[in-house]
Amino acid sequence: MKINLKAKMVHEVVLILGGNQGDRKKLLDNAKAAIGRLGKLVKESRIFTTEAWGGVAKEAFLNQALILETELGPLRFLKHLQQIEKNMGRKRQIRWGDRTMDIDILFWDDVVIDLPELKIPHPEMANRRFVLEPLMDIVPELVHPVFGKTIHQLLEECPDTSKVSIFPESA
């Protein structure tokens, strides 16, 4: 499937970062610095402490949303993110398991991308409080291009009841 990016030179990308192993705050900071080398960091949410999601991981996560402007295309950008995760010790062994760093692309401009290796908007974001709470911090009125609802509306309707709170060092 061909991706129509409207011949834009600079793309606005919304990401969610998270991890629950090691020095979580330091790993978030390191990931943010590495991501910043892929473009211009425009905005960042506070950091949130979130319950492990999916019934596999054991420890609480730290999560943060970022907005970045980049000139890279989506697949090339994804490859860079996967390399950052790998460099930070990410091992893809157990789905929803413990991890040092997970970086997901939530939105790419206002387009929908449906490829085997990349689906944007992220298909499960509306069901995950640990994604929506950080997004509320920076883009509450952003409209999901598939659901036609704002982040605020998605959070109000979110079926996930897991605990999400502001990380004390981020308040």
Check if 102 is active-site: yes
The structure tokens 């996560």 sit at 61
Check if 110 is active-site: no
Check if 128 is active-site: no
CA dist list (Å): 45 to 64, 120, 159: 6, 20, 22
Q: Kindly name the residue from 99, 128, 137, 160 that is annotated as catalytic.
A: 99
Q: Kindly name the residue from 76, 92, 98, 102 that is annotated as catalytic.
A: 102
Q: Kindly name the residue from 46, 98, 104, 109 that is annotated as catalytic.
A: 104
Check if 90 is active-site: yes
Q: Kindly name the residue from 24, 90, 128, 129 that is annotated as catalytic.
A: 90
- Through-space distance between the first and last CA atoms of the chain, rounded to whole angstroms: 43
CA dist list (Å): 113 to 33, 35, 117, 120, 164: 26, 21, 10, 5, 29
Catalytic residues: 90, 99, 102, 104
